[in-house]
Amino acid sequence: MVNNNKISVITLGCSKNTVDSERLMNQIKLNNLELIDDPNMADTVIINTCGFIEAAKEESVNTILNAVALKQKGKIKKVIVAGCLSERYKSDLEKEIPEVDAFFGTENYEGIINNLGGELKYELLGERFITTPSHTAYLKISEGCDHPCSFCAIPIMRGKHKSIPMENLIKEAEFLAGNNTKELIIIAQDTTDYGKDIYGQKSLSNLLNKLSEIKGIEWIRLMYAYPSQFPDDLIDTIAQNPKICKYVDIPLQHISDNVLKSMRRGVTGERTRELLYKLRSRIPGVTIRTTFITGYPNETEKEFEELCEFVKEIKFDRIGVFTFSVEENTSSYLLGDPVPDKIKESRKDILMEIQREISTEKNKEFIGKKLKVLLERTEGEYFVARSYRDAPEVDGEVLIPVNGYNVKEGNFYDVEITEANEYDLFAKLINT
Ligand code: SF4
């Protein structure tokens, strides 16, 4: 029996959580339950939490407490908590926040749907309720991770690496293309490990080529690549397949051999450089995004300077910087947290300042050049678009003065770059 229940799903954390929520939301719809945006108007609030680092955990707990407050005021009937924080700390949370009606781990769609009085439509799990703008969607190709990175709790919450069979991913991508998706953003904990478990070898190249044959898909963007054992054939596939964006997101975390060793990253500074120069020489014009951690327990001032010199040397197109967060049950936990927060933050600021100059310089090189952009939305006097260099939410954008142009969000347009600042490009439309 299915209750006529208004459900609000709150998604925290990363794009992998977004995909999980979209699968769940589609199952909620398939069970004739009503999905609503505003948790204040819901009967049931489901929170898909993040448990990655301290700040994310705090945000998740606060969101749970806000929902519990709504329940205590009689505004909502039920609070359900799912996702990484719940996977990691279920028994503690049950004790500390008993007002929550049910706690579920990651990807427990059946448990949640049954709790709502529904039935899981297993055969339709590949279909999703898209929460991103329809022209762009994440495709999660595997879950879990086999890497032993010392600072990371994700394997504790998401388990070992598990690839999703290619035929399921093709079907899911066709479903997305049928819903107007033009850009597929390929995500996982480590996308380059795709297929090693189910096909006995790394098969990301094969998958990307197959996805590029799907009618309607125009851009395929690769995120979360891992630097060690980067498949050589993948470099050629990115270089040769016109639908694959010349863009690689490859978190490196550090460059000093000492720090990389303690982080258990399985790669050296020298091999990291080799890979980056190989990507640049074999994929002309490739955009490289990376992330670093500052204030890792054994990072000395000298090792931080080495990282700064590396960033100046390589001139990445995009970087993100996180400060080290102590995570229990990770192998770095025993190292404690000797680097003061003030130092961690100042190192982060120094790196971002170095990058700001590099990014400005690189962006200015595009003035006068033509680019194909995906028009995302209108904001005030500007159309906001992205080029092959820009992943959503984390990178820069291309801003185009509205100027009475008759254009449509979700379409591709050719532009000429007229101006640039450290993050964004400014452009005018051509051929419209
Ligand atoms: S690759 Fe390392 S940092 Fe990334 S999810 Fe796996 S263990 Fe964590």
How would you label 316-328 residue by residue, b for 16+ Cβ within 10 Å and e otherwise? bbbbbbbbbbebe
CB of 195 shorter than 6 A to ligand 1: no
DSSP 100: S
Cα within 13 Å of Cα(388), Cβ side = 20
Residue written as token pair 């190249």: 205
What values do phi and psi take at 370, rounded to 5? -100, 140
Nearest residue by C-alpha to atom 5 in ligand 1: 189
Q: Is the dihedral of CA 254, 156, 117, 93 positive or negative?
A: negative
**Domain chopping of the chain, boundaries:** 6-124, 136-363, 370-429
- Name the residue with the closest Cα to ligand 1, atom 1: 147
Any ligand 1 atom below 6 A from CB of 149? yes
**Smallest CA separation from ligand 1 atom 4, residue:** 189
Q: What angle do CA 190, 265, 232 make, to 5 degrees?
A: 55
Residue numbers of the chain with a pLDDT score lower than 50: 1-3
Give nearest CA residue, ligand 1 atom 2: 149
Q: What is the position in ligand 1's atom list of the atom closest to the CA of 148?
A: 7
Pick the atom of ligand 1 nearest to 155's CA. Answer: 7
Predicted confidence at residue 236, as pLDDT, reads: 98
The domain made up of 6-124 has a fold known as Rossmann fold (3.40.50)
Which atom in ligand 1 lies closest to the alpha carbon of residue 226? 1
Ligand 1 centroid distance, CA of 17 (Å)? 15
Can you tell me the distance from the alpha carbon of 288 to that of 280, in angstroms, rounded to the nearest whole number? 9
> What is the percent of the chain where pLDDT is above 70?
99
The model carries a pTM of: 0.95
Q: CB neighbours (10 Å) of residue 190? A: 22
Backbone angles phi, psi at 372, to 5 degrees: -95, 130
Mutate to test the pocket of ligand 1, among 17, 106, 149 (most ligand atoms within 8 A of CB): 149
Asked if residue 168 lies in contact with residue 153, where contact means CB atoms within 8 angstroms, the answer is no
Q: What's the rounded Cα separation, in Å, for the pair 432 and 412? A: 11
Domain 370-429 has CATH 1.10.1040.50: no
What dotted CATH number matches 136-363? 3.80.30.20
Q: Which of 16, 145, 226, 267 to mutate to test the pocket of ligand 1 (most atoms within 8 A of CB)?
A: 145
C-beta of 155 in contact with ligand 1 (< 6 A): yes
Q: How many CA atoms lie within 13 A of 130 on its CB side?
A: 19
User: Which ligand 1 atom minimizes the distance to the CA of 158?
Assistant: 5
Q: How far apart are CA 202 and CA 187, in angstroms?
A: 15
Tokens, residue 405 = 């142009």
152 Cβ below 6 A of ligand 1: yes
> Could you read off the pLDDT of 268-322 as tens digits, one per residue?
999 999 999 999 999 999 999 999 999 999 899 999 999 999 999 999 999 999 9
Q: Cα(9)–Cα(152) distance, rounded to whole angstroms?
A: 26
Q: Which residue has the tokens 């009967």?
A: 43
**Residue corresponding to tokens 């919450």:** 157
Q: How confident is the model at residue 2, as a pLDDT?
A: 46
Q: Give rounded-to-5 percent helix, strand, coil for the chain.
A: 40, 20, 40
Sheet holding 287-294, edge to edge: 136-140, 183-187, 219-222, 244-249, 287-294, 318-323
Ligand 1 mean position, distance from CA 388 (Å) = 25
CA 266–ligand 1 middle distance (angstroms): 11
Quick check: 151 and 332 in contact, CB under 8 A?
A: yes
Q: What is the pLDDT of residue 37?
A: 96
HSE (CB half, 13 Å, CA atoms) of 199?
16
Closest ligand 1 atom to Cα of 153: 8
252 touches ligand 1 (CB under 6 Å): no
**Is the CB–ligand 1 distance for residue 68 below 6 Å?**
no
CA 189 to ligand 1 centroid distance, Å: 6
- Decide: 139 and 187 in contact? Cβ < 8 Å: yes
What's the CA gap between 19 and 138, in Å, rounded?
7
Q: How far is the CA of 412 from the centre of ligand 1 (A)?
A: 34
CA of 145 to the centre of ligand 1 (A): 6
